[in-house]
Amino acid sequence: MNANTVSLVADLIASRGDQKTCRARLEAAQARAEECEPWLKAFAYRPDTYETWGVAGKPLAGLPIGVKDLMATHDMPTTYGSPIYAGFRPAEDAWIVERIRHFGGVVFGKTVTTEFAWREPGPTVNPWNRLHTPGGSSSGSAAAVAAGIVPIAVGTQTVGSVIRPAAFCGVVGYKPGHGRVPSAGVHPLAPSVDHVGFFARTVEGAAVCHALFIDAKPDVMVDFDAWEAYFTARRPRKLGVVRTPLWDSVTDEQKANFCASLDRLRAAGVTLVELDPLDDMRLMLDALQTVVQVEAAREIGRLTADYPDMVSQHLKVLTAAGAAVPAARYSEALALQTRLRSEFGDFVDDCDAIVTVPAAGRAPVGLADTGDGSYCAPWSFLGVPAVTVPSGQSRDGLPLGFQVVGRCGDDLPTLQTAAWIEAVLG
């Protein structure tokens, strides 16, 4: 894989104001895509030519960025992974797309998504081994970054659709807190738990996304010369270890990798404490399922009724289940979400963050299923920030990951903790 550890910020500073470098950067991405895409299939659409090579002098000057095909682009097809919307072009860009362009970045293309961000896979393969899934639903975004086509890609997560594919593809995945990145122009699946998130080669790349798309004021350019004052890796004092109620389903090599990672953190001077939220986590998994079913039925149920021959069985089952959920059960699920969010800070106590696994193990064989998102689901339900960093490889050479979860509102501190962990794990 294209393991690029060169500082993205240093590269952006060095190239700002240089239109020639902007053009060269985009041409390099095009060349890499031409090399990989015949088998990788990370993109649902890439333009033959670009109207702009990026805007020199702006923070993302000419940086090619992959955008999940769940997000509106006025100048490219936006299909939401469904044949129903083949060739559809929205009138306006999604908020995140407009901001990418505002900061001088280039939408390199639309990355493959599962159908409406649910379980029906697209054609994308895992860049480490094309017989394995890249994960989903942000399949193409994870694969495009892992293959070295683009340094940053945008995705979404409702259950585990940023963190899991990032772990499967050996890149950094960052799910900001719920609502931190506006979802205007992003097709909803379940708005109460939908998140816009990012893929990058390093945590620093994810932090660039945070700086631009969360912290930046609309009409203010981010000053990367002051980057060290804004973002530095932060050594945690204490981390809470969560093994989830699904620990028995975690593979032996993922368990071994997780425990070895904990040993390295402990050796680096971090105090680790075991936390036991198992009862609440079981409730969260059930409640999340209820919320997703009900809200998907509201958002997409009409399409399954109007186009029964053009939607997958996965979507039909989901929306039918949502239509059958009693209103009281849905209200109880939302009430649980509100209560547990308010109690989460007390659960974390004086820990700087929580650490846990991002998936059961390495990417499963086959492309018919994108893997189990349950190991990310509680943090999606709570709407708290989460980051996954690569932590090693399986015996057959596929990536394994390590997930860092922060308190509500602690997005930047969580990234800083993850950056320190990234350095320790190497």
Residue 22 pLDDT more than 90? no
Find the mean pLDDT for residues 401-426: 97
Find the mean pLDDT for residues 383-394: 98
Find the mean pLDDT for residues 166-189: 98
Higher pLDDT pick, 368 / 53: 368
Residue 2 pLDDT more than 50? no
| Fold (CATH) for 8-230 | Amidase signature (AS) enzymes (3.90.1300)
Residue 69 pLDDT more than 60? yes
Least confident of 16-20, 332-336, 383-387, 412-416: 16-20
The per-residue pLDDT for 340 is 94
The per-residue pLDDT for 220 is 65
Residue 221 pLDDT more than 80? no
Least confident of 46-55, 206-215, 229-238: 46-55
pLDDT tens for 230-283 read 999 999 999 999 998 899 999 999 999 999 999 999 999 999 999 987 678 889
In the chain, pLDDT over 70 holds for what percent of residues? Answer: 97
Higher pLDDT pick, 195 / 4: 195
The per-residue pLDDT for 47 is 96
Mean pLDDT computed over every residue of the chain: 95
Whether the predicted model's global pTM rises above the 0.85 cut: yes
The per-residue pLDDT for 259 is 98
Residue 51 φ then ψ, to 5°: -65, -30
Find the mean pLDDT for residues 183-193: 98
Residue 52 pLDDT more than 80? no
Q: What is the CATH architecture assignment of 238-279+334-425?
A: 3-Layer(aba) Sandwich (3.40)
Higher pLDDT pick, 180 / 18: 180
pLDDT tens for 92-119 read 999 999 999 999 999 999 999 999 999 9
The per-residue pLDDT for 1 is 38
pLDDT tens for 350-372 read 999 999 999 999 999 999 999 99
Residue ranges covered by each domain of the chain: 8-230, 238-279+334-425
The per-residue pLDDT for 5 is 55
